[in-house]
Structure 1
Amino acid sequence: MESWLKSCGAVGLDDLELADFPVTGRGVKTLRRFTKGERILTIPSGILWTVEHAYADPLVGSVLRSARPPLSVEDTLATYILFIRSRESGYDGLRSHVAAFPTSYSSSLFFAEDELEVCAGTSLYTITKELDRSIKDDYRALVMRVLAQRRDLFPLDKFTIEDVGVIYYKWALCTVWSRAMDFVLPDGNSIRLVAPFADMVNHSSEVEPCHVYDASSGSLSVLAGKDYEAGDQAFIYYGSIPNSRLLRLYGFVVPGNSNDNYDLVLSTHPSAPFFELKQKLWASAGLDSTCTISLTLADPLPKNVIRYLRIQRLDESDFAAIAHRQLAAADEKINDSNEVEVLRFLVESFCQLLDGFGTQLEKLEEQLAEGVYPSGGNAWAAAHVSLGEQRVLRLARKRAEDLLSAAESESGDVRGSLPAMARCANCEKDSAQLMLCGRCKAIPYCGRACQVAHYKEHKAICRAIASKSGS
């Protein structure tokens, strides 16, 4: 591949070579010293894998261009990669690049069921399951729209969804996901590309962003993200990416990743009371009726979470009370009862999310320390994803609990509105000191332990009651 790249105008290959490294595996080794910011490698536009490059192909370009509806960038590149790999001649340089791709990937999409179960309860677990189904649907659509139309170019015995040798759709998609680079162009549009040899450079959070696209020439360059000595591994920086995304797209994790997060989805059904009024308030606050808000280690409970829920929990009397205030009133507390209701709901929700993890944080830490999951393996990686998300959610819960304690003290409402004497739904003890479920406001508990223990039994009725009230 190197000789082909040189003949096409690639610059810098004499100072680099592919090598195997103990932790990262295949990567790029420097053969001389580089100072930070120095150009290491440049790949010219003519040999970059892009949608435009695929469209310009004399054999398959017109087929890809004429697909209706148009193929996504990912499907276009994946189909083109499969096409080149299936050809026996005519694409020598491109074929040599494809031959350098890994024959398998360690993305969560390829995990055995027991390996994926290690991170049950995480966003990665849910997304991986959904993505696997989506890939099957996308493949069927690709067959109908493109592959079956030109079987002379796309023999279906080779262009399969699952493993037949190393030519199959899921493998090609993972090739694009793990090796493509994305850039925003000066006109605001974006470009996704795969750059031969440059796609072998691994990620490190210890280097600064150092791969650049020159829109005027169309070339891709890699700069030294730090000083290198001869024999060092060269790195690029993928970005501030949590382990869940690293494992899904690239097949690895960073233990103790400071970028770990949990994407909290907040949604309200259009049939909920006062939905249109609430929609206007959300819009004025830069939100929507369905929001995905990232909880992070640095900011486990962003203001937008509470702002959203303050608006969601407004009732008729609240609307009257805030009529004279700015529409962005959710930046401030609406009133005491609304604030307490929102924070109780958050605490309960975080408890339920944490209870849904297959293995709790302390147990995972113990298992990792004891070597239950072989270091670097799939289950080990899944465990680190679960650790990261649980740590974020625990910080979020603690923050919500602290805010709730302060709000209850300020309002004088410590346990909610209950009869003078009620009975815990879990242990059935009578007590004057009970709390209501923060979501449905109907079921009493004597404490958090009973609430969590009763959740599986209570979940269905809780959702039914809450949906009627629009929560």
Structure 2
Amino acid sequence: MESWLKQSGASGLDDLELADFSDTGRGVRTLRRFKDGEEILTIPHGVLWTVEHAYADPFLGPALLSTRPPLSVDDTLAMYILFVQSRGSGYDGLGSHVAALPASYTSSIFFAEAELEVCAGTSLHTVTKQLHRQIKDDYRGLVVRLLEQHQELFPRDKFTIEDYKWALCTVWSRAMDFKLPNGDSIRLLAPFADMLNHSSEVRQSHVYDVLSGDVSVLAGKDYELGDQVFINYGPIPNNRLLRLYGFVVPGNPNDSYDLVLTTHPMAPFFEQKHKLWVSAGLDSTSTISLTLTDPLPSSVLRYLRIQRLHQSDLALIAHHQSDVPVEKISDSNEMEVLRFLIESISGILDGFGTQLEKLEEQLSEGFYSPDRNAWLAAHVSLGEQRVLRLTRETAEGLLAEVESGSGNKRGLWSAPAQCAKCKKVSVQLMRCGRCNAVMYCGRACQVAHYREHKAMCRATASKNGSQRD
């Protein structure tokens, strides 16, 4: 593959080599030093995998262009990869790239049922189940719209549903996305550059040149001879890392839970409430990410406040032509919202296959073999449960304020005057000295709560610029 890329005008390959690393597997190693910001590698436009190049192929292009409705970007790239793989000749360069791709992936869609059940209750579990159904439906559509229409181009033994899943995962795990100046975006695969692994310790440093169409990788930090070169995929939670890329980051500070809020169209006063949701930038079905740094986004409370409006509230809003309710509407509405939220989060947590404390114990004792699928799923479950518990704690604190009548005095969004561990409400609480975000009634509760709190603490402290250990 390297010789083909050099002939195609790629630069930087003489200073790099593919290598196997104990912690990440296959990656790219330096053959000399690089300074932060220095150009490491450039892959020319002509050898990129793009929708444009798929359409330009003299054999594949006409088949794709005649398909109605047109294939999605991911399906087009997946078919392009499988088509090149199936030809055997005439695609020496692209074929060498396909030959260098992994034969299998550890993304969640390839998990055995028992492995996936380790993260039962997580949003990843739900999305993966949905993906299984969607992939089957999409493949059936491809058979009817493309494969059967051009059987001479697509031998069915090389375009099975398993081949399609593999190609899709190749796109999901290796494609790069870039925003264009006109607001559009482009998704592409860059040979050799797609061998670079992720690290949050480097700056995002892969760029797309709009004029030339080339992709370049810059050094995201200083590299010594023999170091592995990384790129940064961005602040991605473990549930998405595992779904798309097949790995997790233990203790990931970007962990999240995707909370789906929905209201049935037959619910009372749905039309009036729907207008309020739209005005508030929401919809009757809204998916909102809960994170360690923002466990209870204002959009969650905004949605539920509207959902829990009664007829008298709606009449008052209509009469006064009030703005969309954003802050607390009334104590009764706020308490109803927070109690419902606490009950719902508790129900979600009860639905996890293995509860947080047991999961932490299993991971610390080596119950799951490191880097195996079950171990990966366990870390996703761990992260999502920590986020949800923090969301529940935040809601409980807000509810305590409203119930005690202190909400108007202290402000609805201020930190709850309640111990994060034992829930004791008091005016004499000590605040966590590192993140300044939670409070404790004493040292014992702080120590007991640390294992659960540490991921959020580190993330919050980092966000606030803390340098304390």
- TM-score, length basis structure 2: 0.85
Structure 1 position 326, deviation (Å):
6.2
Structure 1 position 315, deviation (Å):
0.9
- Give unpaired runs (5+ residues) of structure 1: 163-167, 413-471
Structure 1 position 203, deviation (Å):
0.4
- Using the alignment, how far apart are the partners of 1:211 and 1:331 within structure 2? 39
Structure 1 position 330, deviation (Å):
2.0
Q: Pick from 388, 392, 395 the counterpart of residue 397 of structure 1.
A: 392
Question: In 1, are the aligned partners of 2:279 and 2:324 still within 8 Å (CA)?
Answer: no
**Aligned runs of 1:143-222 on 2, under 5 Å?**
143-162=143-162, 168-222=163-217
Instruction: Report the CA distance shift for 1:231/1:326 in structure 2 as closer, same or farther (over 3 A).
Output: farther
Alignment size in residue pairs: 407
Q: Secondary structure at the match of 1:76?
A: helix
**Aligned runs of 1:437-448 on 2, under 5 Å?**
none
| Identity rate, percent | 75
Question: In 1, are the aligned partners of 2:43 and 2:216 still within 8 Å (CA)?
Answer: yes
129-138 or 96-105, which moves further after superposition?
129-138
**Aligned runs of 1:15-414 on 2, under 5 Å?**
15-162=15-162, 168-323=163-318, 327-410=322-405
Amino acid at match of 2:3: S
**Higher gyration radius (CA):** 1
- Using the alignment, how far apart are the partners of 1:283 and 1:75 within structure 2? 32
Structure 1 position 329, deviation (Å):
4.3
Structure 1 position 350, deviation (Å):
0.6
Q: Secondary structure at the match of 1:256?
A: coil
Structure 1 position 327, deviation (Å):
4.1
- Using the alignment, how far apart are the partners of 2:311 and 2:133 within structure 1? 42
- Using the alignment, how far apart are the partners of 1:91 and 1:324 within structure 2? 69
Structure 1 position 325, deviation (Å):
5.4
Question: In 2, are the aligned partners of 1:284 and 1:327 still within 8 Å (CA)?
Answer: no
Instruction: Report the CA distance shift for 1:130/1:207 in structure 2 as closer, same or farther (over 3 A).
Output: same
Structure 1 position 302, deviation (Å):
0.5
Instruction: Report the CA distance shift for 1:29/1:325 in structure 2 as closer, same or farther (over 3 A).
Output: farther
- Using the alignment, how far apart are the partners of 1:231 and 1:157 within structure 2? 42
Q: Deviations over 1:360-380 (max 9, x none)?
A: 000000000110100111111
- Using the alignment, how far apart are the partners of 1:51 and 1:198 within structure 2? 18
Amino acid at match of 1:154: F
Amino acid at match of 1:64: L
Instruction: Report the CA distance shift for 1:241/1:325 in structure 2 as closer, same or farther (over 3 A).
Output: farther
- Using the alignment, how far apart are the partners of 1:397 and 1:327 within structure 2? 30
Q: Secondary structure at the match of 1:41?
A: strand
Structure 1 position 185, deviation (Å):
0.6
- Using the alignment, how far apart are the partners of 1:251 and 1:312 within structure 2? 37
- Using the alignment, how far apart are the partners of 1:360 and 1:327 within structure 2? 44
Structure 1 position 328, deviation (Å):
3.6
- Using the alignment, how far apart are the partners of 1:383 and 1:326 within structure 2? 50
RMSD of equivalent CA atoms: 1.3
Q: Secondary structure at the match of 1:407?
A: helix
309-318 or 327-336, which moves further after superposition?
327-336
Q: Deviations over 1:92-118 (max 9, x none)?
A: 001000000000001111111111111
Structure 1 position 333, deviation (Å):
1.3
Question: In 2, are the aligned partners of 1:11 and 1:43 still within 8 Å (CA)?
Answer: yes
Q: Deviations over 1:354-404 (max 9, x none)?
A: 000000000000000110100111111100000000000000000111111
- Using the alignment, how far apart are the partners of 1:45 and 1:385 within structure 2? 37
- Using the alignment, how far apart are the partners of 1:299 and 1:4 within structure 2? 47
- Give unpaired runs (5+ residues) of structure 2: 408-469
Amino acid at match of 2:272: L
Question: In 2, are the aligned partners of 1:307 and 1:330 still within 8 Å (CA)?
Answer: yes
Structure 1 position 316, deviation (Å):
1.3
Q: Secondary structure at the match of 2:328?
A: coil
- Using the alignment, how far apart are the partners of 2:6 and 2:177 within structure 1? 24
Amino acid at match of 1:199: D
Amino acid at match of 2:69: P
Structure 1 position 158, deviation (Å):
1.6
Q: Which residue of 1 aligns with 2:435?
A: none
Question: In 2, are the aligned partners of 1:285 and 1:328 still within 8 Å (CA)?
Answer: no
Question: In 2, are the aligned partners of 1:18 and 1:27 still within 8 Å (CA)?
Answer: yes
Q: Secondary structure at the match of 1:157?
A: helix
Question: In 1, are the aligned partners of 2:74 and 2:171 still within 8 Å (CA)?
Answer: yes
Question: In 1, are the aligned partners of 2:236 and 2:254 still within 8 Å (CA)?
Answer: yes
Structure 1 position 320, deviation (Å):
3.1
Q: Deviations over 1:165-204 (max 9, x none)?
A: xxx1111110011100011111111100000000000000
Amino acid at match of 2:398: L
Instruction: Report the CA distance shift for 1:99/1:43 in structure 2 as closer, same or farther (over 3 A).
Output: same
Amino acid at match of 1:133: R
Stretches of 4+ aligned residues off by more than 6 angstroms: none
Question: In 2, are the aligned partners of 1:336 and 1:411 still within 8 Å (CA)?
Answer: no
- TM-score, length basis structure 1: 0.85
Question: In 2, are the aligned partners of 1:297 and 1:395 still within 8 Å (CA)?
Answer: yes
Question: In 2, are the aligned partners of 1:240 and 1:259 still within 8 Å (CA)?
Answer: yes
285-294 or 70-79, which moves further after superposition?
285-294
- Using the alignment, how far apart are the partners of 1:266 and 1:232 within structure 2? 45
Q: Secondary structure at the match of 1:141?
A: helix
Amino acid at match of 1:246: L
Instruction: Report the CA distance shift for 1:332/1:231 in structure 2 as closer, same or farther (over 3 A).
Output: same
Amino acid at match of 1:287: L
Structure 1 position 323, deviation (Å):
4.1
